[in-house]
C-alpha cells in the first residue's frame, strides 16, 4: 500500500492492486457467518415475502422499506440457505464499493487530477479498512447509500443544468432512503459541491421525499 500513499499509479499498477484488493474483499465476505444485523435482514425478508408490515411485526428494522425489499429479493433467490444469502449480501455490497471507487476516480478526473492520481484516490477508497470491514466483514450496507451520494456529486459537476437538478435530487433522495447514514451529507454537498444553476431545492427536496 506504500504506492497508494506516496504517489500516482499507472493504469496497470492500479488494475493489479484493484484485483488483489477485490480478491481479498471477496475472501473476507465468503468467510462471514452472520451477526445480529444479518439475522434481522433475514427476518425482515421473510416478513416482506409473507406480505407483512415489517414495522408492525418487528422492532429489529429501523430503515426505509428500500433495503427491506432488496434483502427480500436476495432471500427469495436462495431461501432457506442462509449461507448463500450472506454471500449474496457480500457480493452486492462489494459491487457497490466497486462502483463507488469508479465514481471517485471520475470525480478526481473531473477536478483536473491526472489519471495516476485519480487511480490512487479510487484505490484508497476501495482498500480503506473501514469500507472493507463494513461491507465484507460485518455485512453492512452503508456502501449502497454512498454509491448514490457519489453519483449525485459527479452529476452535479456536469453541465446539463435542467436535467442535472432533477437527477441530483433523485440520487440524493435514493441515498438517504437506502440508509440514513448519509442524512447530513446533502448539507455538506450544498456547501461544497453545488454549481451555478443547481437550485437549492435540488438539495432540500431529498429530505422532504425521504
Q: Could you tell me how far CA 143 lies from the centroid of its own chain?
A: 3
Determine what percent of the chain is predicted with pLDDT higher than 70.
Answer: 80
Give pTM, 2 decimals.
0.82
Burial (CB count <10 Å: 0-12, 13-18, 19+), residue 35? middle
pLDDT value at 196 more than 60: no
Task: Tell me the domain boundaries of the chain.
Answer: 2-33+91-209
pLDDT value at 46 more than 70: yes
Amino acid at each position: 500500500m506504500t504506492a497508494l500513499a506516496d504517489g500516482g499509479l499507472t493504469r496497470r499498477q492500479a488494475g493489479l492492486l484493484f484485483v488483489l484488493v477485490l480478491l481479498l474483499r471477496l475472501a473476507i465476505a465468503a468467510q462471514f457467518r452472520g451477526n445480529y444485523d444479518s439475522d434481522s435482514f433475514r427476518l425482515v425478508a421473510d416478513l416482506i415475502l409473507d406480505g407483512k408490515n415489517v414495522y408492525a411485526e418487528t422492532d429489529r428494522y429501523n430503515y426505509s422499506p428500500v433495503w427491506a425489499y432488496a434483502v427480500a429479493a436476495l432471500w427469495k433467490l436462495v431461501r432457506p440457505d442462509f449461507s448463500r444469502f450472506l454471500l449474496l449480501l457480500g457480493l452486492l455490497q462489494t459491487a457497490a464499493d466497486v462502483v463507488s471507487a469508479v465514481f471517485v476516480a471520475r470525480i478526481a478526473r473531473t477536478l483536473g487530477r491526472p489519471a495516476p492520481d485519480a487511480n490512487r484516490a479510487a484505490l484508497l477508497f476501495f482498500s480503506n479498512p473501514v469500507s472493507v470491514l463494513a461491507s465484507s466483514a460485518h455485512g453492512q450496507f452503508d456502501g449502497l447509500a454512498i454509491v448514490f451520494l457519489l453519483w449525485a456529486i459527479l452529476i452535479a459537476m456536469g453541465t446539463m443544468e435542467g436535467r442535472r437538478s432533477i437527477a441530483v435530487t433523485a440520487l440524493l433522495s435514493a441515498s438517504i432512503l437506502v440508509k440514513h447514514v448519509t442524512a447530513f451529507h446533502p448539507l455538506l454537498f450544498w456547501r461544497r459541491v453545488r454549481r451555478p444553476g443547481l437550485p437549492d431545492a435540488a438539495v432540500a427536496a431529498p429530505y422532504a421525499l425521504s
